[in-house]
Chain A
Amino acid sequence: MTKKHRENLPISPDDFMHEFMRFKRGSVTRRHFLGVTGLGLATAVMARSPGAFSTAAYAAEDLGTKMSIATWPNYHDPATFENFKAATGVAVEVNVFGSNEEMLAKLQAGATGWSLFVPTNYTISTYHKLGLIDELDLSKLTNFSAATENPRFTKEGQIDGKTYAVPKNWGTTGFAVNTSKLKTPMKTWKDFFEVAQTEADHRAMVHDYQLTTIGSALVALGYGFNSIKPDELAKAEELLIKVKPHLFAINSDYQPGMRATDAWMTMCWTNDGAQLNRDIPAIAYVLGTDGGEIWTDYYAIPKDAPNKAAGYALLNYLMDPQNAVKEHIANGAPTTDSRVISLLPKEIVSNKIVYPDEAALTPLEFGAAVTLTDPGRAELMARFKSA
């Protein structure tokens, strides 16, 4: 998770304070530093949102000193966790995954050690069905506000009227193109797979993730993103295997490859697209006009979480609009919470990568739960990788 993107931002007073604190840490004692930042943070929270005396709540319960979160690559502002540690004393370990299937496999194979994780909308019903997640205790999430959430992106967190997951942010799956290397104009997934075999030979990446990789291939062939029809999947497999020798890599963490210019084009999520474009303006983010994915990522707490108290504390911290807006600015994924939108700088709200026009979203589909458990899709993906 690089911090490069932060350097290119016009620095705000807030960021300046963080940088200053980080700088100071080298020269002042740890205790002093923690005191200063803890105090600073508490003051900031109280001054801005009088309702959320969250620091008091942290003190009431024993949160331990450590917890770990399972999430996606480049998905958080590292400063968030540093601030959380300063406020609560709990250090957060970030584990990143390349697909929901990988997270599910880990949970199915026994203890994971996660106290919070970030599943995507279409997986929550399966986690619930398998008894791997607990209903959330909303009384511990005082910063969460159901009323300000956009229902379009939040409905899959609730099952039978109970809340099992709360939204982190929404986003899209498109592709990123380094326009200083690739000149062919591309608008569709069909274009993507064609250029991958020609101009971008050995320079394109696809996700190590059945939903998006198979889904995009299906879309390129004119089928539905969520199809599990054997004949359509067979066509998609044919396309993927034809493209495979021309790919640079099959990997859901494509930022390092794109930044190093090992790769010139990749399947890409909104947040990565926004980060790449911010640091390297030549990298454009394209939504397929022929289709693709729109998604919401949620926060949920595994049933066997070793430190549920800290999991709730971090989740509540992340739901605080003041913190969520910083996360938003750093990672670039659009929020589902209208309280956060009102706090965002104008240049982000008007950024078409982050908040595309409604027309661009129309062809996109939410992932379907059936794709997670469909053996045909799982095996197709595995065959594609081993081909």
Chain B
Amino acid sequence: MAVSAENKRRLVTAALVGPAAVWLFTFLVLPFTAVVIFAFGERAPEGGYQPAFTLAQFANLGARSAAFANTLTLAPIGALACLLIAYPVAYYLAIKADQKYRMLLISLIVIPFWTSMLVRTYAWMYLLGARGIPHLFELAGIDDVRLLNTPGAVLLGIVYGYLPLMILPIYVSLEKLDRRLLDASADLGASPVSTFFGVTLPLSLPGVMTGVALVTILLLGEYLIPQLLGGGKVFFIGNALVDLFLQSRNWPFGSAIAVTLVVVVVAVLLVAMRIAWRVSGSRQVDLI
């Protein structure tokens, strides 16, 4: 009896995790293996892939150094810009805002997600184009203001698109904060400023780390914002990848870049986790 109960238990477990396991294997492990194999192949004469074993694709990575550099600077800058705006807002929502309106205010942060990202970014194309904000400058007598297709426009699009993802985790960690700690700090004669730096900020750091890591990682694979607001001039790795697969048809080189991108993402994540552990003093930090 004991054996069959054990068998039954195993069977149930297998049935429970089976579908997920099959899915992960078929659509994550297999495809990624294919990409790794492709990365060592060659471009076929008419484009695409042909089998080979060469390190040439990886050796050629330098040809996309600008895209890597763009991504690796604008992604963290974008995440930091999000943080600078998000923190005070999350602080206000979690600590200062009237309890009655808190849920409404938070919902208002989330709602933009329910309008297509593409359509909202298109709205920015209009606002930053010559008929939008530059036109207002022109009316005020300032000519030749150029906003669209600049790194600044891409940064703005990034902040616009990812701000909610930064606000929410910080808000959650601030909201969990025990208010009696703040009161105690004040009772002990600490100024609001030192209460903030001594109590509030350190306790909200896990949320900050989650937000920064989440936004940075998503930005590393960004395609749409640089494509639409950068005019094909501000190029991210994501854009280089799309270009290699849907324009210059160099699948092996694209695969090599994809592999490298994943390595970069994992490296960023590991560094972020390490910092998070150090900051929070524990390993109980979920970054994702």
Contacts and interface: CB of A to CB of B under 8 A. Distances in A.
User: Do any beta carbons of A and B sit within 8 angstroms of each other in the complex?
Assistant: yes
Given A109-B245, A261-B130, A382-B250, A251 B231 contact: yes
Contact residues on A (Cβ < 8 Å of other chain), bracket:
20 to 34
Contact of B130 (A210, A247, A262): A262
A378 B240 contact: no
B245 A105 contact: yes
Contacts of B64: 383, 386
Q: Which of B46, B48, B244 has the most CB of A within 10 A?
A: B46
B130 A105 contact: no
A251 B232 contact: yes
Contacts of A126: 46
B199 to A, nearest CB: 46
Contact of B240 (A106, A250, A382): A382
Nearest to B68: A386
A104 interface: yes
B48 A108 contact: yes
Q: Which among B67, B129, B231, B248 has the greatest number of chain A C-beta atoms within 10 A?
A: B248
Contacts of B232: 208, 249-251, 385
B87 interface: no
Contact of B46 (A106, A129, A251, A386): A129
A373 B233 contact: no
Contacts of B59: none
Contact of B231 (A99, A250, A373): A250
Interface string B35-70: 000000001011110000000000000011011000
B162 interface: no
A132 B247 CA distance: 17
A378 B250 contact: yes
Nearest to A108: B48
B239 A386 contact: yes
A375 B250 CA distance: 8
A202 B47 contact: no
A129 B246 CA distance: 20
Interface string B190-225: 000000000000000000000000000000000000
Interface string B113-147: 00000000000000001110000000000000010
Given A202-B146, A260-B130, A262-B130, A379 B231 contact: no
B66 A105 contact: no
Interface residues of B, number: 30
A260 B131 contact: yes
B255 interface: no
Contact of B250 (A109, A130, A379): A379
A385 B243 contact: yes
B148 interface: yes
A15 interface: no
Contacts of B67: 386
Contacts of A261: 130
Contacts of B146: 202, 248
Contacts of A260: 129-131
Contacts of B233: 244, 247, 249-250
Interface centre among A129, A248, A375 (most CB of B within 10 A): A375
B285 to A, nearest CB: 35
Contact of A104 (B231, B235, B240, B249): B249
26 contacts: A99-B247, A101-B247, A101-B249, A104-B249, A105-B245, A105-B246, A106-B246, A108-B47, A108-B249, A109-B246, A130-B46, A202-B146, A248-B149, A248-B231, A249-B231, A251-B232, A260-B129, A262-B148, A373-B45, A379-B63, A379-B248, A379-B250, A382-B244, A382-B250, A386-B239, A386-B243
Interface of B: 43, 45-48, 63-64, 66-67, 129-131, 146, 148-149, 231-233, 235, 239-240, 243-250, 253
- 8 closest cross-chain pairs (CB), A and B: A249-B231, A250-B232, A378-B248, A386-B67, A262-B130, A386-B235, A260-B130, A382-B248
Given A101-B247, A382-B247, 16 more contacts: A102-B246, A102-B247, A105-B247, A129-B46, A208-B247, A210-B248, A248-B146, A250-B232, A251-B231, A261-B130, A262-B129, A375-B43, A382-B240, A382-B243, A383-B64, A385-B239
